Amino acid sequence: MPANKSSQDLFRYLRGNGPTPSSELVAHFGISRATLSRRVQELGNAVITIGSARATQLAARHEDVSDSIPIYRVTEGGQVETIGGLTPIREGEQTQWFLNPEEAPKALTEGEFKDGLYPGWPWFLEDLRPSGFLGRAFGKRMAHLLQIKEKPEEWTDLELLTTLTGFGSSLQGNFILGDRRALNDFQEHKVEISQGYYRNSTTSAYPEMAQRALDEDEAYGSSAGGEQPKFTTMICDTPDSDPRAVIVKFSPKLDTPVGRRWADLLHAEHLANQVLADAGFDAARTRVFELQGRVFLESERFDRVGQFGRRGLVSLRALDAAHLGLGQGAWAKAARKLHTEKWITAEDCERMIRLHCFGELIANTDMHWGNLSFFLPEQSPYPLAPIYDMLPMRFRPSGTGEVVEREFKPTLPKPEDQNAWLEMHPHALAFWQRVAEHTKISNDFKVVASSIIKDLHRIREIVIP
């Protein structure tokens, strides 16, 4: 920090107040623009300039990060390109972030972010915060290595940044943060693929991978029994085929009631994807395997392209945080708001409403806003990504590891959803019929399916007698 008191006063003001227009600073300190420019030069790298000409703002760089953090994205062809530098800014005890809008894709700086300023962790990076079964194990590992809290949702922005730049080489979507270990790991991963590292990686290895995931979770202290165990990997379908990226859910052992129920639900998720695909929806491409006493649901990752390529992805939760601020509610409600404000197309709006109705009819009580995603384009509108995690979660085991038999009664649609509900009703019937007839699904769950089929027929007559 320079010794000049006037420059220090400017820095302290910016640090306490955040990004401030230069015109306000000139008025506040009673100085000319030329004097302000000299003081900014004296502060050097401690102050960043946002915008230009009369729209210029000044801000204090966070003292813990001396340089901007490069943001890279992996193209669909597998090449790495820079889209800008991310800079943390102090505003009192809070951290804002700046991304030069002239360098970044327009989609990242549309709406209220046109200046490249984000009041908290940037919305398009929020989905990179680890969560769920995989995120919990990762969080505990980072706590052990970096001496930070175990729960990723409790990390500060800078702690999250540290973990992602160091260990985020295979995140959701196509971003890589920083030019350190994460970037190097991705480049090494490409070399491994090209050298045939995954040639012998097949579905037969799934039981071993599942046990490794459970062992790692246990090593750092297991909790939250209701979470669905899973792992990510690349596999080759034949020794001569190229590897492809998958995410694999797996059940507990089938000789337990909880294992049997999760197996039923994994089969049901696969059937739901098939029904939706038959109805013309983009759904995750899945396969089911029963290996060494477990059921595995393999989903091909749609944020990966070929051996090396990736596609940008953001959840409905992130998109809402950026542009709507609704916070929660039905997918149908979010769809209409997103379309009204031109963030999605009319076609995707209708798809979201129909998917919402289908989920309601198949007892999917877990349609939170992290379970629906959009591809990240160069600029809006945002295309709807394939549907995933669509299954009757009403019947999942409890968090304490028990199978609780719950009742499910389909409800009448809202008037604005009635047409979509009527369109999806036969597809929901087809889903439950497939469940009831599936040879690998337990008799207990087939009884549930048969009961719901009767209820769906009855409620259909109420909607249109």
DSSP conformational letter for 232? E
Separation of CA 391 from chain center: 18
Q: Top-level CATH class of 304-463? A: mainly alpha
Instruction: State phi, psi for 325 to the nearest 5 degrees.
Output: 80, 20
**Per DSSP, what are the bridge partners of residue 249?**
230, 297
**Active site residue: 115, 179, 185, 366, which one?**
366
Distance of alpha carbon 392 from alpha carbon 399, whole angstroms: 16
Is 9 part of the annotated catalytic residue set? no
Contact (Cβ atoms closer than 8 angstroms) between residue 273 and residue 283:
yes
CA angle 158, 160, 166 (to 5 degrees): 100
User: What tokens does 255 get?
Assistant: 């000789």
Which CATH code is given to the segment(s) 7-60?
1.10.10
Same fold, 7-60 and 198-300: no
CB atoms under 10 Å from CB of 131, counted, come to 17
pLDDT at 387: 98
Full pLDDT tens readout for the chain, 465 residues: 444 778 999 999 999 999 999 999 999 999 999 999 999 999 999 999 998 877 899 999 999 998 999 999 999 999 999 999 999 999 999 999 999 888 899 999 999 999 999 999 999 999 999 888 888 888 988 998 999 999 999 999 999 999 999 998 999 999 999 988 999 999 999 999 988 888 888 999 999 999 998 887 654 333 333 468 999 999 998 888 899 999 999 999 999 999 999 999 999 999 999 999 999 999 999 999 999 999 999 999 999 999 999 999 999 999 999 999 998 899 999 999 999 999 999 999 999 999 999 999 999 999 999 999 999 999 999 999 999 999 999 999 988 888 988 999 999 999 999 999 999 999 999 999 999 999 999 999 999 999 999 999 999 999 876
**Per DSSP, what are the bridge partners of residue 298?**
248, 287
Domain boundaries, the chain: 7-60, 69-188, 198-300, 304-463
Helix H or strand E segment including 443: helix 443-463
- The three-state DSSP-derived secondary structure of 46-69 is HEEEECCHHHCEEEEECCCCCCCE
In one letter, which amino acid is 58? L
User: What tokens does 85 get?
Assistant: 């530098």
pLDDT at 99: 96
Distance of alpha carbon 309 from alpha carbon 123, whole angstroms: 23
Distance of alpha carbon 101 from alpha carbon 50, whole angstroms: 10
Contact (Cβ atoms closer than 8 angstroms) between residue 26 and residue 36:
yes
Asked if residue 381 has a cis previous peptide bond (ω within 30° of 0), the answer is: yes
**Per DSSP, what are the bridge partners of residue 219?**
none
Distance of alpha carbon 104 from alpha carbon 394, whole angstroms: 42
How far is CA 291 from each of CA 204, 250, 409, rounded to the nearest angstrom?
8, 10, 34
User: What tokens does 462 get?
Assistant: 């109420």
Task: Please choose, from the candidates 394, 338, 335, the residue with its C-alpha nearest in 3D space to the C-alpha of residue 364.
Answer: 394
Contact (Cβ atoms closer than 8 angstroms) between residue 221 and residue 307:
no
pLDDT at 465: 65
Residue 43 burial class via C-beta count within 10 angstroms: exposed 0-12, middle 13-18, buried 19 and up: buried
Distance of alpha carbon 188 from alpha carbon 185, whole angstroms: 5
pLDDT at 228: 85
To the question of domain 198-300 being in CATH 1.10.3720.10, the answer is no
